[in-house]
Amino acid sequence: MSTDNTTLSEIVAKSGTSNMQVYCDELAQQSEQAYMNISSYKTKEMLIGSISKDPPQHLMLCGATVDRVTTFKLLGIRVSSDLK
């Protein structure tokens, strides 16, 4: 089995630190325990707001670097990092 259309989101305060890598690691562990595969090459990361000015390190998922994008399609809706 594989996981489809799973979305993780996080709000990070201007002076805060992202915990998204921890969330990704937990998702990978839960998926493995449920015998589900994650397609890391299909996984995308998008930063919105002030965090994009001083971005955190790229996410890693299942040993692969997650692509950072400025737009993506979520359930048929095009989402853009500038929210236009």
pLDDT for res 20 = 93
Distance in angstroms (rounded) separating the CA atoms of residues 43 and 59: 10
Question: Does the structure show a pLDDT above 60 at 2?
Answer: no
Contact 28, 59 (CB under 8 A): no
pLDDT for res 3 = 58
**pLDDT tens digits for range 12-57:** 888 888 999 999 999 999 989 999 888 877 889 999 988 888 888 9
Contact 2, 38 (CB under 8 A): yes
Q: Give all strands (DSSP E) within the chain, no chain letters.
A: 44-45, 60-61, 64-65, 67-68, 71-74, 77-80
pLDDT for res 4 = 66
Task: Label the pairing between strands 67-68 and 44-45.
Answer: parallel
